[in-house]
Amino acid sequence: MVAKLHIPQQSRPAVSHRSSKGSPGDAPFPTRQQVLDFIRDTPEHVGKRELARAFQLSAEQRPMLRQLLRDLEDEGLLQRGRKRRFAPPGTLPEVTVLTIYTTDADGELLARPDSWNEEDLGPPPRVLMLPVRGKAGPALGVGDRVLARIARDGETGGYTARPIKRLASAPPRLLGVLAEGPDGLRLRPTSKRDRNEYLIKPGEAGEAVPGDLVEAEVVPGRTYGLRQARVVDRLGDMSNPRAVSLICIHTHGIPTEWPPEAMDQAEAAGPVPLEGAREDIRAVPLVTIDGEDARDFDDAVWAAPDPDPANPGGWHLLVAIADVAWYVRPGDPLDDESLRRGNSVYFPDRVVPMLPEALSNGWCSLRPHEDRGCLAVEMWIDKDGAKRRHRFLRGLMRSAARLTYTQVQTAIDGTPDEITAPLVEPLLKPLYGAFGALFAARQRRGSLDLDLPERRVVVGGDGQVVRVEPRARFDSHRLIEEFMVAANVCAAEELERLGQPCLYRIHDEPSREKLTALREFLQTLDITLSRGQALRPHHFNQILAKARDTEHENMVNEVVLRAQAQAEYNPDNIGHFGLGLRRYAHFTSPIRRYADLMVHRALVRGLSLGAGALPPDQDDQFARIGGHVSDTERRAAMAERDAVNRFTVAWMAGRVGATFAARVTGVTRAGLFVSLDDSGADGLIPIGTLTPEDFYWHDDARHCLEGRTHGQIYRLGQPLVVCLEEVDTVSGGMILSVANGPAGAGPRARNDGEASGTQGRHPRRGTAARPSTPPGRRVRATRKERARRRDRRRS
């Protein structure tokens, strides 16, 4: 059991409750702080009756309570809700209107309050929609507006909400591309889920022309024929290569516009002074190691053998991180916008940064041979990678070199270039020596070691895709990872030592339901997952080792990944299951992650390191901020993944009819989702093209489709040779067929009905999916029809 962080609370007199022998008025009249604390700690809104009962107030004391509440309300410390009930400022009313905007990792609906003022109150709180008790309630989805009854959630700092009724929503909006149609302009949606076209009547397109990417509003109501829409915003020309990332930005709601006040603040930034608690570490030859296309350098590293004779074979490490807290102060316009964004979003052709470029690529970027402010941690480890001690400091540094992963790996492998040659002996070899010790400690600890290939889209100067290639994975990447993990652990430990709030990076162990499903699947491969004991990462590593170098390797890696919980930010520590760590906090990337900036501010306050410290009124905001930045992180990940897929599909457009080696990455009743080996491009093989005369059962537990007649089985992770049938650059989708199946490739899917076929239920084997009749093929006659034919022949 991992111990939770203990944060000393402000001392306050205990609230005495009425006993069986007590009488009203026995207890002294509560202080202002006692009243505020009671209201803050009570999940529901509080009225005078609840306060009088809690503090055992007499009838003579109640006018004093009314006056105290009136004073607190006038001072802005309380807000009055329905029926004269009170709550802290920024608290949502007990009944309010919400708009559902997304789902979390478990498929639960998340909502935003319609009345929330982000300019005054910051990002809205996290609101989790719950089902209506005792009845089905309205079927809700993303985009719906609901009247809901809400309650504060003490564990997350957000709210839970139960819907009362669905409200009339504003006309839904969608992204699409304008095209000429037989009856005027038409809109083709960019979403894969919306295969409809919309009619744009004359005068409803504004200044947009065919070929433009637009945002449109669906016209309420429906007549015969296509649904209608009107253009509300022209976003650009779809033929522009940058339109791909523009689609992803608008689809996922990524903020791109900066408030003028925030830009002015960033443009006015300058060098940090060497004064106060800031130490001069410019003599230390720190280096940055990043990807070739990186423009913001927020971490630098250095290592040397520890000269301490009591630590033979040990290492002295230094990890320096850009001092973003110096430039982004709590409550400033720049801070408000950075929190709203939550993190940077990286696309193949652009970056949507959390901070303006004047900071992210300027004063907060650790450029070589330029003085930069930093927050750094010194670490001393032994020869086995175990940490002996650490120390945090606020410094002024000067990077000795900007290196890439490829440069460093090539140099350490024996072929350095003119930049790395003089650094190999004094710097790179000590870095690798310290990395070896840290990596050995990681292996002993037993962190989860998944092997899932990633792909990289290379975009040329003209915005066109040059190539799609597997992302290289060197020891130089692992080196930086190990240094960053070590620094992050130190940050969490230091904040605990100082008694400061910490926004932990937590990763829960897999849920019981996911483990049950994983065990059932592994049993089909004769692989056993332990029961009746607490699972640790090394148990999953044993499974991965058994599948290594077999035909099931990719499939097992994928299924084990899906069984894991999703990491998040939270002030309540439960440890990091995947890394096998008891405490862990993100400290090393404050340029692109707001969570890291919160950790920096807490360290600055706890160590009295000067300006930019965490203000006292933000201590109780960690849960709310943690939920918000966890949501923005998931939003960014979905947008980045969507962009890579769309760029890859655009690159594949000229290769229709070609065959490719592929692997099954998803099995559904609609068909097989596959990923091409050479590019990683994702596409669908509709079930109607899998041996069309057969009848396929979908076995969810075994992640497979099985043909009832021929016995052909398609499994998750199975290698296939596929043919590219169709590419849709607007929606980013690809249709493929099996080129080496038992009956050859099926016919090309024409629409959703052909793709998904008719679906049914088998009493023993689960879900079945039967394809519709393809052109030129006959479906086998039913048993009754064959009996009728026999009877006719006999007669």
User: How many CB atoms lie under 10 A from the CB of residue 57?
Assistant: 19
* Verdict on whether the full-model pTM lies above 0.85: no
Pick the most confident of 133-147, 149-163, 339-353: 339-353
The pLDDT value recorded for residue 97 is 85
644 with 535: CB under 8 angstroms? no
Confidence of residue 29 (pLDDT cuts 50, 70, 90): confident
Q: Is 112 helix (H, G, I), strand (E, B) or coil?
A: strand
**What are the Cα distances from residue 228, in Å, to 77, 186, 224?**
49, 9, 10
The pLDDT value recorded for residue 167 is 78
Place of tokens 């009832």: 708
DSSP 8-class letter at 669: T
User: How many CB atoms lie under 10 A from the CB of residue 507?
Assistant: 20
Q: Tell whether the model's pLDDT for residue 567 goes beyond 90.
A: yes
DSSP letter string over 286-344?
Answer: -EEEE-TT-----EEEEEEE---TTSTT-EEEEEEEE-HHHHS-TTSHHHHHHHHH-B-
Q: Tell whether the model's pLDDT for residue 238 goes beyond 70.
A: yes
The pLDDT value recorded for residue 532 is 66
Q: Please state the rounded mean pLDDT for residues 407-426.
A: 96
Choose the weakest-confidence range: 59-63, 182-186, 388-392, 590-594.
59-63
Cα–chain center distance at 269? 30
- Burial code of 173-204, b = ≥16 C-beta within 10 A, e = fewer? ebbbbbbebeeebbbbbbbeeeeebbbbeeeb
Question: In terms of pLDDT, which residue wins out, 543 or 13?
Answer: 543
Cα–chain center distance at 94? 29
Q: Please state the rounded mean pLDDT for residues 212-218.
A: 90
Pairing of strands 465-470, 504-506: unpaired
Average pLDDT, the chain: 82
Pick the most confident of 324-328, 533-537, 629-633, 755-759: 324-328
Question: In terms of pLDDT, which residue wins out, 595 or 96?
Answer: 595
**Distance linking the first and last C-alpha atoms of the chain:** 79
Pairing of strands 287-290, 401-404: parallel
What phi, psi does 541 have (nearest 5°)?
-65, -35
Between 475-498 and 594-606, two packed helices, what is the crossing angle to 10 degrees? 50
642 with 347: CB under 8 angstroms? no
Sheet holding 758-762, edge to edge: 713-715, 704-707, 696-699, 766-770, 758-762
Question: In terms of pLDDT, which residue wins out, 203 or 12?
Answer: 203
**What are the Cα distances from residue 491, in Å, to 373, 503, 524, 529?**
18, 10, 44, 34
Question: In terms of pLDDT, which residue wins out, 223 or 33?
Answer: 33
The pLDDT value recorded for residue 35 is 77
The pLDDT value recorded for residue 42 is 66
User: pLDDT tens digits, residue range 634-649?
Assistant: 999 999 999 999 999 9
Pairing of strands 568-570, 504-506: antiparallel
% of the chain with per-residue pLDDT over 90: 44
Confidence of residue 703 (pLDDT cuts 50, 70, 90): confident
Place of tokens 């009746």: 532
**What are the Cα distances from residue 524, in Å, to 408, 665, 672, 718?**
44, 18, 19, 14
Cα–chain center distance at 453? 19
SS3 of 747-781: CCCCCHHHHHCEEEEECCCEEEEECCCCCCCCCCC
The pLDDT value recorded for residue 484 is 98
Confidence of residue 278 (pLDDT cuts 50, 70, 90): very high
User: pLDDT tens digits, residue range 362-376?
Assistant: 999 999 999 999 999
Confidence of residue 68 (pLDDT cuts 50, 70, 90): confident
Confidence of residue 3 (pLDDT cuts 50, 70, 90): very low
Confidence of residue 301 (pLDDT cuts 50, 70, 90): very high
> The tokens of 127 are what?
């609101």
- d(Cα 18, Cα 313) in Å, to the nearest integer? 65
Q: Tell whether the model's pLDDT for residue 86 goes beyond 90.
A: no
Q: Tell whether the model's pLDDT for residue 274 goes beyond 60.
A: yes
**What are the Cα distances from residue 577, in Å, to 106, 534, 545, 626?**
18, 12, 19, 18
Q: Tell whether the model's pLDDT for residue 251 goes beyond 60.
A: yes
User: pLDDT tens digits, residue range 760-781?
Assistant: 333 333 344 433 333 333 334 4
Choose the weakest-confidence range: 39-53, 237-251, 619-633.
39-53
- d(Cα 71, Cα 67) in Å, to the nearest integer? 6
The pLDDT value recorded for residue 373 is 97
The pLDDT value recorded for residue 254 is 92
Q: Please state the rounded mean pLDDT for residues 260-279.
A: 94
SS3 of 158-216: CEEEEEEEEECCCCCEEEEEEEEECCEEEEEECCCCCCCCEEECCCCCCCCCCCEEEEE
Strand partners, 166: 146
Strand partners, 659: 723
User: pLDDT tens digits, residue range 604-614?
Assistant: 999 999 999 99
Long-range Cβ contacts of 383-387 (<8 Å, 24+ apart): 383/311, 383/312, 383/313, 383/314, 383/315, 383/437, 384/437, 384/440, 384/441, 384/444, 385/437, 385/438, 385/439, 385/440, 385/441, 385/442, 385/444, 386/441, 387/486, 387/489, 387/490
The pLDDT value recorded for residue 65 is 79
The pLDDT value recorded for residue 460 is 87
What phi, psi does 666 have (nearest 5°)?
-160, 140
Nearest to 643 by CA among 349, 214, 368: 349
The pLDDT value recorded for residue 342 is 95
Confidence of residue 756 (pLDDT cuts 50, 70, 90): very low
**What are the Cα distances from residue 416, in Å, to 285, 405, 690?**
18, 12, 52
- Burial code of 522-559, b = ≥16 C-beta within 10 A, e = fewer? beebebebeeeeeebbbebbebbebbeeeebebbbbbb
- d(Cα 522, Cα 563) in Å, to the nearest integer? 12
Nearest to 756 by CA among 673, 668, 670, 667: 670
User: pLDDT tens digits, residue range 431-453?
Assistant: 999 999 999 999 999 899 887 77
% of the chain with per-residue pLDDT over 70: 81
> The tokens of 215 are what?
């945002």
Q: Is 721 left (phi over 0), alpha (psi -120 to 50) or beta?
A: beta
Cα–chain center distance at 500? 26
* Cα diameter, the chain: 108
558 with 522: CB under 8 angstroms? no
Question: In terms of pLDDT, which residue wins out, 146 or 743?
Answer: 146
CA quadruple 603, 608, 614, 616: dihedral sign: positive
Question: In terms of pLDDT, which residue wins out, 63 or 384?
Answer: 384
Pairing of strands 659-668, 671-676: antiparallel
The pLDDT value recorded for residue 128 is 87
